[in-house]
Amino acid sequence: MIVPFILWMLAFFVVPITLVLFVSLMSKGIYGGIDYTFTLENYLRFLDPIYLHILGKSLFISGFVTLLCLLFGYPFAYLVARSPKKYRNLLLFLVIIPFWMNSLIRTYAWIVLLRTEGVINTLLMQFGWANQPLALLYHDGAVLIGLVYTLFPFMVLPLYTSIEKLDATHLEAANDLGASPWRTFWNITLPLTFPGIVAGSLLVFMPSLGLFFIPDLMGGGKAMYIGNLIKNQFLAARDWPFGAAASVILLGLTFGFIYFYKKVSKNRPESEVL
């Protein structure tokens, strides 16, 4: 019964990923194909200031997106998990809906709002709060908004799961022993929900590096991130080995993240949320 699954994943997941790893170690052919000679050059190119900058900027903006999702998402997930049972399912459902909605459509919704002739600029000018349209779109700030908006539910859901599982008796004990609410949060709630924080961060950070259409559509032509870089190497530049190397870097980051998650949720299977 398990055999079809194993065969399928071998053929269409393990083999393709191995293939990418292999291609990343090959040279680029003259006409854009692959020249089958071993090289590390595709990885060394990331030491070039241009690509180092793209990599650094991508990691920075993804980290920032993750941080914003966490800062806004934690209190929200906490309040939802602690709200009366009759509202909780409804509130949770209101987060699940955007979770499943098409991310491209959700990005487009922001373009409608933010563009030069968009809803926000039109309103601002009508009320006389702006004399000319503001440049709300086509810069890194717009990309940030798009990513946070798209990935926010991916942070909230694991956080909610871990906060909901939190045993209330721990909090009562802390309270009875005279700890302030702040101290209880810092010493009990936060450490116990840490696996949820890491899982949520993983589900926000990694996709944010790959969502190429958000920088494409909201960042204007200027914005170059690792996701667009990979896409361009495979479609426009046709430098597959270099694009493959960039993908392997993303994979490496993912594995690092998962390793960290496994470490923090070890010995506490009850706190696993992934």
Partner 1 sequence: MNVRWTRLLSGFYMALIISLLFLPILVLVVFSFNDSKLNAVWMGFTTEWYGKILLNRSILESAKNSLLVAFLSTLIATAIGTLAGVAMYRYRLRAKSVLDALVYLPLVIPEIVMGISLLALFALLKIPLGLFTLVVAHVTFSVPLAIVIIRARLHGFDRSIEEAALDLGATEWQTFRHIILPRIMPGVAVSALLAFTLSIDDVIVSFFVAGPGSTTLPLKILSMVKFGVSPEINALSTVMLVMTIGIVLVAERIRLRRNQD
Tell me the C-alpha distance between 17 and 248, whole Å.
9
Q: Which is nearer to partner 1, 46 or 257 (CB)?
A: 257
For 177, which DSSP code? T
Q: Which is nearer to partner 1, 171 or 274 (CB)?
A: 274
Q: Which is nearer to partner 1, 49 or 86 (CB)?
A: 86
Q: How far is the CB of 170 from partner 1 (least distance, A)?
A: 21
Report the run of H or E that residue 28 belongs to, with start and end. strand 26-28
Non-local (6+) Cβ contacts of 172 within 8 A are none
Q: Which is nearer to partner 1, 14 or 44 (CB)?
A: 14
Q: How far is the CB of 167 from partner 1 (least distance, A)?
A: 19
Q: Which is nearer to partner 1, 117 or 176 (CB)?
A: 117
Q: How far is the CB of 159 from partner 1 (least distance, A)?
A: 13
Q: How far is the CB of 30 from partner 1 (least distance, A)?
A: 18
Q: Are 189 and 166 in contact, with CB atoms under 8 Å apart?
A: yes
Q: How far is the CB of 217 from partner 1 (least distance, A)?
A: 6
Q: Are 226 and 250 in contact, with CB atoms under 8 Å apart?
A: yes
Helices assigned H by DSSP within the chain: 3-9, 15-23, 41-44, 49-81, 85-100, 103-114, 119-126, 140-165, 168-176, 181-184, 190-192, 194-210, 213-218, 226-235, 240-264
- The two structure tokens encoding residue 271: 């706190």
Tell me the C-alpha distance between 182 and 186, whole Å.
6
Q: Which is nearer to partner 1, 49 or 236 (CB)?
A: 236
Q: How far is the CB of 195 from partner 1 (least distance, A)?
A: 14
Residue 63's closest CA among 190, 201, 158, 194? 201
Q: Which is nearer to partner 1, 174 or 244 (CB)?
A: 244
Q: What is the CA radius of gyration of the chain?
A: 22
Tell me the C-alpha distance between 150 and 34, whole Å.
36
Give the chain's length: 274
Q: How far is the CB of 61 from partner 1 (least distance, A)?
A: 15
